[in-house]
Amino acid sequence: MDEDRLARVLEEIRDLQRQQVEAYARALTNQHEALRLQREGMGRARKLLAGIGVIIAIVLVMVLVLLRYVLQHYAPGAGL
């Protein structure tokens, strides 16, 4: 009788350990997926920031060109 009970307890421990290993494997898989998604997100953010940087640079060049034009043509005594 005690051997049957011991066998059941050991089987239950074995089953719980299997469940724990499966849960750990799922957790690792989820962590790998989360890291992959973060890397993809960082890649998108870098591309977006690069695009915004290019747009800012273009706008800055346009402003400087227009400022130079305005200063050359509309400064006091420039075109009179």
**Nearest Cα to 49, choosing from 41, 39, 61?**
41
pLDDT by position in tens, the chain (length 80): 788 999 999 999 999 999 999 999 999 999 999 999 999 999 999 999 999 999 999 999 999 999 999 999 888 876 55
Q: Is the dihedral of CA 25, 26, 30, 36 positive or negative?
A: positive
Helix (H, G, I), strand (E, B) or coil at 10: helix
Query: Is residue 27 within 8 Å of residue 19, measured between CB atoms?
Result: no
Q: Supply the pLDDT for residue 75.
A: 80
Distances, alpha carbon 54 to alpha carbons 51, 59, 61, in Å: 5, 9, 11
